[in-house]
Chain A
Amino acid sequence: MTMQAVQVRLSDEQLATIDKLVAAGRYPSRSEAIRDYLRKAQLWEALEKILALGDIDAPESAVEKRLAATRQRVYETLFGKAVA
């Protein structure tokens, strides 16, 4: 992956937070810390989109039952004859 150098302005507080994590060994560098923060922001945005679909209303036990039935159906479709 090609990396580009960009100038980013951060507050003293934000920089101190990053430096603390680098000093603690959680990230090898400031760049790596910022990249990881960005990745987590993307993760969060994607999750928000999923949750915007609306909640799954069914109770957990009903979902579990449905999962088992679906697995059986998908297995029969894809593997039913493979392992008899």
Chain B
Amino acid sequence: MNILADSNLYIASMRRSGLKRKVLWRILETNNILVLTDFLIAELRENFQELYTPSQARIALDLLLQYLSTGLLIVKTAQDYKQHLKTAAEFVPPKDTPILAAAMLDDIDLLITWDAKHFLNNVKLMQSQWEAKIKHPDELLEML
């Protein structure tokens, strides 16, 4: 499966403890294809600058990408998903549209997120054709 993981999964994978860290590991371990986007990479870079010391932040993204590239990885750019940005804006706040728009691409099977407010418990979204693609990490773990 081609799996788009929301940024909270990547941040969770950088924590030393907790079950959440295991989700990303399980995706990679089971030979699924992880899909990153330019937006997610920019977001992760910003987050690392806030979560780590300046010297750690510089290498955190490189290490994460190195970790991810031990598995199967695809990177999508705005050129790929911009066609869906307007449709995505009908369902989620503007800031989340790059994520949903990428998930709307035909070759993306799942969007995995812990964001209940804007995705998992979003009634309009859950009543749409996109519902089948959006899963909680626990649902994914049951599938793998």
Instruction: List chain A positions with a Cβ less than 8 A from chain B.
Output: 36, 39-40, 42-43, 46-47, 49-51, 53-56, 58, 60, 63-64, 66-68, 70-79, 82-83
Contacts and interface: CB of A to CB of B under 8 A. Distances in A.
Given A42-B70, A71-B95, A79-B85, 7 more contacts: A46-B67, A47-B13, A55-B15, A56-B15, A60-B18, A79-B78, A79-B98
Given A53-B56, A82-B85, A75 B94 contact: yes
Contact of B52 (A51, A54, A64, A68): A54
A78 B95 CA distance: 10
Contacts of A39: 70-71
Nearest to A36: B31
A67 B63 contact: no
Interface of B: 7-8, 11, 13-18, 25, 28-29, 31, 38-39, 42-43, 46-47, 50-52, 56, 59-60, 63-64, 66-67, 70-71, 78, 82, 85-86, 89, 94-98
17 contacts: A36-B31, A39-B71, A43-B28, A46-B66, A50-B13, A51-B14, A56-B51, A56-B52, A58-B51, A63-B11, A63-B51, A70-B50, A71-B96, A73-B46, A77-B42, A79-B97, A82-B82
A66 B50 CA distance: 9
Given A50-B14, A56-B11, A56-B15, A83 B67 contact: no
Contacts of A77: 42
A65 to B, nearest CB: 11
A71 B29 contact: no
B86 A71 contact: no
- What 3 pairs across the A-B complex have the smallest Cβ distances? A46-B67, A75-B95, A55-B16
